[in-house]
Structure 1
Amino acid sequence: MTERILNITNGDCAVAALAAAAMPGDPLPWRDILHEGPVPGGLDLAALSEVRARFIAERGWASLGPLQAEFAARDARLAGFRDYDRVRFWFEHDLYDQLQLLQLLDWFAGEDLGGTRLTLLCTDEYLGPSSADAIRQRLSAETAVAGAQLELARRAWAAFRQPTPEAWVALLRSDLTQLPFLEGAIRRTLEEYPHPRTGLSRTAFQALCLVAQGEDRFNDLFKEYQTTEERSFMGDLGFYGLLHTLAEGEWALLTIDRRTPAHLIDPEQRYGVTDQGREVLAGRASAGEQLARDRWIGGVHLRPDRYWTWDAATDTLSGMNA
């Protein structure tokens, strides 16, 4: 009898790549940008999916009703995993994928697997641009998901959803070898907290630097930004929204040549660095309060009167509390 396989992966591009490689089984794209917006603890999958759908809709990235239906259908298909002999996790090494993998492994850690096997294919190569032969060759790296991996994922997912970042930082002092790309994901998440001197996240700092160097058109700017990432994870919509955030308010760090909605990308949009932006880049001013306006990183809700900073050079977390 033919083995029934459920292939869970990060999104539609990966699904298309698996199809082109004629991988057997049914695809399930996870389709959530978990490094953007609230991922609070204390919610089951259905409740969290509702929170995620509302956030994505509020950003203008999709309409709420269809998105709620899509999440519900996705979750229902996941709950039907016992219809399959094997669940294959096809994921990459970057932050976007690693957070999705944590969510899924945490969910499976709480399930009775019955006769279904879980296997993992996770490498440092991106699925979307991979050739069919390269994807087929990945099968040689397939491994069974171990109980220790499920336990680590459960601990890490809970830490990511805590209302303060201390537990997420504490993971760096534990053994993470069961999930070899997790440490990089933790560190990259922490780099999205404001820097103690500039108040900028790593992404915001790179964006400002590139504009200051003359890379002022969105399409070119986004391409150059991607080269600054060891493990690219951010999509163009998230980056476009960040640039709009940097251009808002009395102390805007960027100028925009023409105002467009933050969810409708104008590839020819042009940017400039304000005097305040140059002060921040020079370390003579901080943008921490501006970038911490109603911002979420996992379960942590950053506000101007309550936010944390992260110094990647010294692995130091500092907190500000109202």
Structure 2
Amino acid sequence: MSHLILSTNHLDEDVLAQSRLANVVVGFNLRFVWRKLPPEEQLLLGLERRSAKHGNPGDHWLDEACRGSLEGFGTRDIGFFELCAKFDSIEIWVDPRPNDQLVLIWLLDLLRPYKEITTKLSLVHTDDHVADYAPESVAKWKLPAFKVTENHLALARRAWQAYRAETPKPCFDLLMTDLTALPRLRPALIALLEELPDSVTGLGASEMDILEFVNDGHTDPRIVEGARWLRNVFDENDAFDALLELGAHPAPPILLGDPAFDNEDRYFGRSEWKVTLTELGRSIFAREDDMWRHNRIYRWWGGTELTNERLWRWDRESRLLIAP
């Protein structure tokens, strides 16, 4: 019996492969948080057999796969559906982090029409980030594998369509429905909604965590970026981008140091720069001011374009979505 494991993030791939729980392990390196969503056509193109259309690094779904990792089942040029067809059973290993939940619903929605794949598909929900564990430890885990049913596929479709919608309201409305088929989806959606501009400060929860780290006296950007671990919504690149964006506004809540150096020099310690709060930053951290009263916002949350004129917000006290 041949067995394939698909991981909802690429960092788990190496650990799962070394655990020898499957013939082949492939992790998806996709980010659907803190950026404009890629068009569906682009996502599908990335899953095709490699061709001249995959000219840039990251264009093909197996660009970061280790050489020889598909030995006996194909090369790194193979298409996604072609690879799935070679296996008797397939498991999707799903980390609890919000981006992993988004990759899961995208993947299930993608596979929904392919009965020849979904009939041999199971879900394995992990309680933690697999990449944080040794392969020999993961090999001993006794996690249940749940056969994918029509309920899983239907819920994934509703959830993916909701996240891609032009407003966050469909995602908020999902919270009023039965989401038990995908047990980590509800907390993931709540965590994502908390990244919308706050009803008072205008900043998302992870941005406020960054301000809290600076307020506590941390000035090294690499330490400040570590605020992402409090919520696990952002990855390192997301947190880096958020930090730089906070310092780039006309009225910034933080200062990033000597402007003679570019952002990469600053971040990797090639300049003596320190992150500090401005007067506005201190007021925002104290929940006494609104970021977007002083600046323009242009950002994406799922399929929602956020501007000052179309600024959806989240009320953290009442846990309610506030329309523009």
- Normalising by the residue count of structure 2, what TM-score does the alignment of the two structures yield? 0.84
CA separation of 1:310 and 1:83: change in aligned 2, threshold 3 A: same
Residues in 1 aligned to 2:118 and 2:279: alpha-carbon distance in whole angstroms: 63
For the aligned residues, what is the CA RMSD?
A: 2.8
Which residues in structure 2 correspond to 1:1-322 (within 5 Å)?
A: 3-39=1-37, 45-46=43-44, 65-70=56-61, 76-113=79-116, 117-223=120-226, 225-229=227-231, 232-258=232-258, 259-261=261-263, 265-266=267-268, 269-288=273-292, 293-320=297-324
Of 37-46 and 122-131, the range deviating more from structure 2:
37-46
Give the 3-state SS of the residue equivalent to 2:26 in structure 1: strand
Residues in 2 aligned to 1:81 and 1:273: alpha-carbon distance in whole angstroms: 51
Of 148-157 and 128-137, the range deviating more from structure 2:
128-137
The equivalent of 2:51 in structure 1 is none
1:198 Cα offset (Å): 0.5
| 1:2-32: CA deviation from partner (whole Å, max 9, x where unpaired) | x222211133321110122122221221101
Q: Contact 1:256–1:270 at 8 Å: present in 2 too?
A: yes
Residues in 1 aligned to 2:264 and 2:190: alpha-carbon distance in whole angstroms: 27
Residues in 1 aligned to 2:266 and 2:125: alpha-carbon distance in whole angstroms: 33
| 1:107-162: CA deviation from partner (whole Å, max 9, x where unpaired) | 11122326850011112121002233432233442221222111111110110000
Q: Contact 1:40–1:299 at 8 Å: present in 2 too?
A: no
Task: State the AA in 2 paired with 1:141.
Answer: P
Residues in 1 aligned to 2:295 and 2:45: alpha-carbon distance in whole angstroms: 27
Task: State the AA in 2 paired with 1:247.
Answer: G
Residues in 1 aligned to 2:193 and 2:240: alpha-carbon distance in whole angstroms: 21
| 1:286-317: CA deviation from partner (whole Å, max 9, x where unpaired) | 11367873211111111122110011321211
Q: Contact 2:106–2:160 at 8 Å: present in 1 too?
A: yes
Q: Contact 1:194–1:291 at 8 Å: present in 2 too?
A: no
| 1:151-204: CA deviation from partner (whole Å, max 9, x where unpaired) | 111110110000111100001100111111001110011011000100010011
Residues in 2 aligned to 1:289 and 1:149: alpha-carbon distance in whole angstroms: 42
1:264 Cα offset (Å): 8.2
Q: Contact 1:39–1:48 at 8 Å: present in 2 too?
A: no
Task: State the AA in 2 paired with 1:67.
Answer: G
Q: Contact 1:290–1:304 at 8 Å: present in 2 too?
A: no
Task: State the AA in 2 paired with 1:17.
Answer: V
Q: Contact 1:94–1:185 at 8 Å: present in 2 too?
A: yes
The equivalent of 1:55 in structure 2 is none
Gap regions ≥5 residues in structure 1: 51-62
Could you tell me the percent identity over the aligned residues? 23
Gap regions ≥5 residues in structure 2: 49-53, 64-75
Residues in 2 aligned to 1:242 and 1:70: alpha-carbon distance in whole angstroms: 26
CA separation of 1:220 and 1:14: change in aligned 2, threshold 3 A: same
Q: Contact 2:9–2:100 at 8 Å: present in 1 too?
A: no
1:38 Cα offset (Å): 1.7
Bigger helix share: 1
- Normalising by the residue count of structure 1, what TM-score does the alignment of the two structures yield? 0.84
| 1:91-110: CA deviation from partner (whole Å, max 9, x where unpaired) | 11111211111111111112
Q: Contact 1:252–1:276 at 8 Å: present in 2 too?
A: yes
CA separation of 1:315 and 1:123: change in aligned 2, threshold 3 A: same
